[in-house]
Amino acid sequence: MSPHRRSGVFLHVTALPGPHGVGDLGAGAHSFLSFLERADQSLWQFCPLGPTSAPHGHSPYGSYSAFAGNPLLVDLTDLAERGWLDDDEAAQPDWTDPHEVDYDRVAEFKRDRLWSAFEGFEASADDDEREAFEAFRAETEWLEDFTLFATLKEVHDGAWTDWPDDLAGRDEAAMAAARENHAETVDYHAFVQWVFDQQWARLREAAADHGVDLVGDLPIYVAADSADVWASPEAFQLDASGKPEVVAGVPPNPGDGQVWGNPLYDWDHLRETGYQWWVDRLDRLLSQVDLARIDHFKGFDEYWAVPADAGSAAAGEWRDVPGVDFFETVRAELGELPFVVEDLGFLDEGVVGLRDRFDFPGMYVPLYANWCNDGDRYKPTNYPDNAVAYTSTHDSDTVVGWYRELNDRQRECVNYALATDGDSIAWDLLEAVWHSEARTVLTTMPDLLELGSEAQFNVPGTTEGNWRWRVTEEALDEDLAGRLAGLTVSAMR
């Protein structure tokens, strides 16, 4: 492969093969790294790794912490091998589906086993293990707030703004009493985060051994009901009760717009504090991955602020963000910033100027192209060098599903541009992306397998049935790896 171009595969961790109903950090993840190496790929991209919950449909973009790891991703087999979980508890349950995640059953199953593993650790861990755990707790600054938040969420119903006033307002005496009264549950949550971090560190080391860089994801906003907002309310535009005064969204252009509901940042406060909250967040992310995609990059130039009680995106207004100062400050704190920016859709001068000032590569997705327009920026023949190009994304249909839904005119233009009859459209488009000028190219596992809309990972604007698709171990076979390796060698010499 050319040293100037790179390629890889997008596959979220939950979609990996594995014995416990959901992909995790165990054997399935390591098997996927082996597949990538055989396929001559050097990038693995995935969604955010934070804890998910049923109220948000277990969306990785609706996490209740920007710092913590998702307990559902913890490998139970590892915990059994360490003697903290009985082998029968780590056995594969008979209800698992290798093709789809049943989050309700998985969440209950995993929580029971993680509690058993915690009790096993408490009963049998040796001195070195206990010292390592205590060192993790002492060194991890965000952990104390997160473990108490996760504990209080189990004790009290509703959002944190519905908790007793002294806990919602973070009264020190009330929090100290809660930590003492619920010490075992707090310790449990700390234990889960410790084993997550250990397993992730082993996976990242294995990725380096396979010549694979990990590509993470940074949602710009966090959930209102999160440890992040509860622990750092001053970083957000909140009212006296802790609820958002204004929320995130996008304006009508030309449709009805969208109201996302996330609290918006108090950029004046953040600038006065040297953006410390963001520095800490990015430092955490870059300790886990080699590259990161910034979702909704527009929000670092200006944001659409919708009054929380408005109910319509049309009631919002644009407000400026000190984006240049922010990235310069972060770069001074953390060094060079290995970011890819999600700049899809309408590009104005502010977004382009901010992106190009820091030489961040933008995203290009051929499914968004007008294929009858030769100059369309999303057609592979028009990609610039400083680009990250995808066949499709986690938020789009698969290539096969997209092609089936095209109107006759667009399908004719696609067929003409790719010199195809459409029988192998996923690989035809993959070849076009791989042979483009884009410095970095990625495909998705469903596109490699030429799957249709049944394998779409997320349908934006919906909350049911998303994030469920999984790849099987059998699908990661030598023929597929060899086919992708062959294309990569020919396209990137």
Give CA–CA dist 91/76, Å, rounded. 9
Look at residue 340 and give its three-state secondary structure: strand
Task: Tell me how long the chain is.
Answer: 493
> What are the beta bridge partners of residue 362?
341, 387
Give CA–CA dist 81/195, Å, rounded. 13
Helical H segments across 322-460, by residue range: 323-334, 349-357, 399-405, 408-418, 425-434, 445-448
Q: Could you please report the per-residue DSSP string of 70-112?
A: PGGGS-HHHHHHTTSS-TTTTSPPTT-BTTB--HHHHHHHHHH
Contact 334, 362 (CB under 8 A): no
Any catalytic annotation for residue 122?
Answer: no
The one catalytic residue among 75, 187, 225, 295: 295
The one catalytic residue among 395, 437, 450, 473: 395
Q: How far apart are the first and last CA of the chain?
A: 5
The alpha carbon of 483 is separated from its chain's Cα centroid by a whole number of angstroms, namely 28
Helix (H) and strand (E) counts in the chain:
18, 12
The token duo for 59 is 């969306």
Amino acid residing at 486: G
The one catalytic residue among 24, 40, 266, 342: 342
Any catalytic annotation for residue 40?
Answer: no
Any catalytic annotation for residue 205?
Answer: no
Contact 435, 491 (CB under 8 A): yes
Phi, psi of 43 (to 5 degrees): -135, 135
Give CA–CA dist 476/214, Å, rounded. 19
Residues annotated as catalytic are 295, 342, 395
